[in-house]
Each structure stands twice: as C-alpha cells, then as structure tokens.
Amino acid sequence: MEQSKIDRINVLARKSKTVGLTDAEKEEQKILRAEYVAAFKASLVGTLEHTTVIRPDGTSYKVTKKKK
C-alpha cells in the first residue's frame, strides 16, 4: 500500500476525532481501511508461507494453513 494512502487514513482518523467527517469522507475512509487490511493480510500470509518452525529435537516443519 502506498504511503500517501496510509497518510490519508491517518488524516481522516484525526479529523473524525476532532470535527467529524462528511459522508463522502466516511466512505473514503471505509474504502481505504479495507484496502489497508487486505494489504496487511496479504503481507502476513506471504511471511507465514516462508516460515519454518524448528522444534527442540532439531526437526523442522513449514507452517501450513489450518484446515477448517
């Protein structure tokens, strides 16, 4: 996610706490937050896909997605 979008999220958050947001700004904030959460999740999944756990006995295994 671009830094300018993160900065805009922060500006809208500060404004909502002080003077409030217009309906258009609320919608923009909602869209930006959803985009940020999606980017965060994708980053976390990428990190976990490259994670290996090493047990005390020396064996190792890759982290996998939990089945429901």
In a domain, 68, yes or no: no
Provide the pLDDT for residue 48: 92
pLDDT of residue 68: 80
Residue pair 30/12 in contact by the 8 Å Cβ criterion: no
User: Does 67 reside within a domain?
Assistant: no
Answer yes or no: is 12 within a domain.
yes
* Residue-number span of the structural domain to which 9 is assigned: 3-62
pLDDT at 12: 96
Q: Given pLDDT bands bounded at 50, 70 and 90, which one contains residue 63?
A: confident
CATH number at residue 53: 1.10.287.540
pLDDT digit string, tens, across residues 6-40: 999 999 999 999 999 999 999 999 999 999 999 99
Cα torsion 25, 27, 30, 32: sign: negative
What pTM does this model have? 0.76
